[in-house]
């Protein structure tokens, strides 16, 4: 080793490092932070705060000393439950977003962290609340999120963006469309998006669930009937095809239609005319047909349950919806969409935040019921949370079980391998490159994650 080479520095824990620092230096560090720091007592009253907190709030520490911290937020937005949980458990809560009254009186968005505050003898003094003003970031995220929507469809995954583009392209045509996807993926929403993107958007959108009716009832539902066509037909009845004249008819679960009804639908597809049950007069209809199924149509063809000529006529353009487990990066976007929609529907004054632990559970679940299951899980959570922060305990029990079974941290991943790199990259993408959230998902500390990011040269995608 060269005489002038610097001596190697032995790693030291943060605790040992801070033990060497003078108290006035620590005060200077807290004063220089970009985040606001508020000290609260066990009754959640403000004890003191750093200058950054005074700037964010537009109030001095002398003015606010002794005030309940919830006065800063307003009752619906106050993180009372989060702070109480920190006092009860002694564990920090991070990445909690809510609204607060900023300097000037306007409402803004802040990202909060809570840390237990202990006296030198180890007894509870209260809680430290760290807050960062993310109003501009939140507004930008909201504007960016609008780019990942088409009607009521939400997604930023590559497959979903391709689906959005295909919907837009096919909308201008009169082509018959077949939508394929598992139950709960949103086939009706895709059908409505096709209708809205078409020149028929001002016309009716008529939906028929083909699996809900027997063959005879479905035929009458679709084409109508005349008086006396069958027992109980006491008058003429217009069918759904006539109701959809000038617009779109959506035939859901088309794979359950019998070969007899397939023949009659084939005539509509070819001639654009229908005959009511019990009548032989042809009635012209100006209708675009969009159908959907969660069935494997190739299997139905092989077994003779679907006619080949009918199959090719309904599948002029095919739109395939990916299952939610194949686009997990969309889950945070969908969570935000559904929480906002459910909270507005239920009349909540504020939009509840979702805790990091709850989001981890949502990200790790396999979602066999797809987007519909996610929406139902969030509605369940909002009922239990009573409009406050959604915690993991508020989610359906099966999500907690799934988190324990499928957590990335439980996987046996070789160190310094491509598998580890891919696992880290996936966790960072899911967390929107929030390193604290990603570290929790992976079951490692933030320092380890930061070191591995540098080791693998990981960077956010453009």
Looking at residue 111, which CATH number applies to its domain? 3.30.450.20
Report pLDDT for 249: 95
Q: Which domain holds residue 280?
A: 153-228+236-322
Q: What is the DSSP letter of 277?
A: B
Q: What is the mean pLDDT of residues 6-25?
A: 76
Give the chain's domain count.
4
Do 196 and 340 lie in one domain? The reply is no
Which of 68, 99, 133 is the endpoint of a domain? 133
- Cα torsion through 14, 129, 36, 95, rounded to 10: 80
- pLDDT over 60 at 146, yes or no: no
Same domain (yes/no): 93, 168 = no
Q: Are residues 395 and 418 in the same domain?
A: no
Helix, strand or coil, per DSSP, at residue 98: strand
Residues 456 and 318 in one domain: no
List pLDDT tens digits, range 403-456. Answer: 444 444 434 456 667 777 878 888 888 777 877 777 766 766 666 677 778 778
Within a domain: 333: yes
Range of lowest pLDDT (146-150, 349-353, 402-406)? 402-406
Cβ contacts of residue 410 below 8 Å, gap of 6+? 404, 443
Question: Could you tell me the CATH number of the domain that includes residue 347?
Answer: 1.10.8.60
Question: Checking DSSP bridges between strand 149-150 and strand 153-154, what pairing results, if any?
Answer: antiparallel
Residue 402 clears pLDDT 80, i.e. is over it: no
Q: What is the chain's mean pLDDT, rounded?
A: 83
Note the helical H segments in 111-228. Answer: 135-145, 158-171, 187-196, 215-223
Pair 314, 432 in one domain: no
Between 11 and 389, where is the model more confident? 389
Shared-domain flag, residues 414 and 386: no
In a domain, 423, yes or no: yes
- The residue ranking higher by pLDDT, 235 or 364, is 364
One domain, residues 318 and 181: yes
Strands 273-274 and 283-284, sheet pairing: antiparallel
In terms of domains, do 159 and 308 share one?
Answer: yes
Statement to judge: residues 390 and 445 lie in one domain: no
Q: Residue 241 sits in a domain of what CATH number? A: 3.40.50.300
Q: What is the pLDDT of residue 164?
A: 92
Exposed (0-12), middle (13-18) or buried (19+): which is 320, by Cβ within 10 Å?
middle
Domain boundary among 133, 164, 188: 133
CATH number at residue 454: 1.10.10.60
| Token pair for 205 | 């959108």
Residue 458 lies in a domain: yes
Is 296 within the bounds of a domain? yes
In angstroms, rounded to a whole number, what is the distance separating the alpha carbons of residues 195 and 190?
Answer: 9
Which of helix, strand or coil describes residue 224? strand
Of all residues in the chain, the percent with pLDDT exceeding 90 is 31
Residue 1 lies in a domain: no
Q: Strands 177-180 and 288-293, how do they pair?
A: parallel
Q: 178: pLDDT confidence band, cut at 50, 70 and 90? A: very high
Confirm if 106 and 97 have CB atoms less than 8 A apart: no
| 185 lies in the same domain as 304 | yes
Q: What is the pLDDT of residues 262-310, one digit of tens each?
A: 999 999 999 999 888 878 888 999 999 999 998 888 888 888 889 999 9
Residues 313/269, Cβ–Cβ less than 8 Å: yes
How far apart CA 335 and CA 332 sit, in angstroms, is 5
- Say if residues 207 and 179 touch (Cβ distance below 8 Å): no
């Amino acid at each position: 080793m060269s005489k002038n080479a610097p001596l190697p520095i032995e790693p030291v824990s943060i605790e040992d490092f801070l033990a060497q620092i003078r108290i006035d230096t620590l005060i200077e560090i807290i004063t220089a932070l970009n985040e606001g720091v508020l000290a609260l007592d066990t009754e959640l009253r403000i004890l003191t705060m750093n200058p950054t907190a005074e700037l964010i709030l537009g109030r001095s520490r002398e003015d606010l000393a002794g005030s309940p911290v919830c006065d800063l937020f307003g009752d619906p937005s106050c993180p009372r439950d989060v702070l109480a949980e920190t006092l009860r458990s002694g564990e920090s809560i991070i990445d909690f977003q809510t609204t607060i009254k900023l300097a000037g009186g306007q409402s803004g968005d802040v990202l909060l962290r809570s840390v237990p505050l202990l006296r030198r003898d180890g007894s509870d003094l209260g809680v430290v609340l760290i807050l960062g003003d993310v109003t501009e970031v939140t507004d930008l995220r909201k504007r960016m999120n609008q780019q990942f929507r088409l009607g009521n469809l939400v997604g930023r995954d590559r497959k979903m963006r391709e689906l959005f583009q295909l919907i837009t392209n096919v909308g201008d045509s009169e082509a018959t469309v077949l939508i394929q996807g598992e139950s709960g993926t949103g086939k009706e929403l895709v059908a409505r998006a096709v209708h809205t993107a078409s020149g028929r958007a001002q016309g009716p959108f008529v939906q028929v669930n083909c699996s809900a009716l027997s063959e005879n009832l479905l035929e009458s539902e679709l084409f109508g009937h005349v008086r006396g066509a069958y027992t109980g037909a006491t008058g003429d009845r217009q069918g759904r095809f006539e109701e959809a004249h000038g617009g779109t008819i959506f035939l859901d679960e088309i794979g359950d239609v019998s070969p007899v009804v397939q023949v009659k639908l084939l005539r509509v597809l070819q001639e654009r005319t229908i005959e009511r049950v019990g009548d032989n007069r042809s009635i012209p209809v100006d209708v675009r047909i969009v159908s959907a199924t969660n069935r494997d149509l190739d299997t139905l063809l092989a077994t003779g349950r679907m006619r080949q000529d009918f199959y090719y006529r309904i599948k002029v353009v095919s739109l395939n919806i990916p299952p939610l487990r194949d686009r997990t990066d969309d889950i945070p976007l969908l969570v935000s969409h559904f929480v906002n929609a459910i909270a507005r529907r239920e009349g909540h004054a504020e939009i509840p935040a979702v805790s990091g632990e709850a989001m981890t559970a949502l990200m790790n679940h396999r979602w066999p019921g797809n987007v519909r299951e996610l929406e139902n899980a969030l509605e369940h959570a909002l009922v239990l949370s009573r409009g406050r922060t959604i915690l993991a305990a508020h989610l359906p029990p099966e999500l907690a079980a799934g988190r324990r079974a499928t957590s990335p941290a439980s996987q046996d991943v070789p160190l310094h391998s491509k598998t580890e790199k891919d696992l880290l990259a996936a966790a960072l993408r899911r967390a929107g490159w929030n390193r604290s959230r990603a570290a929790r998902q992976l079951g490692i500390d933030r320092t380890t994650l930061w070191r591995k990011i540098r080791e693998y040269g990981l960077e956010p995608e453009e």
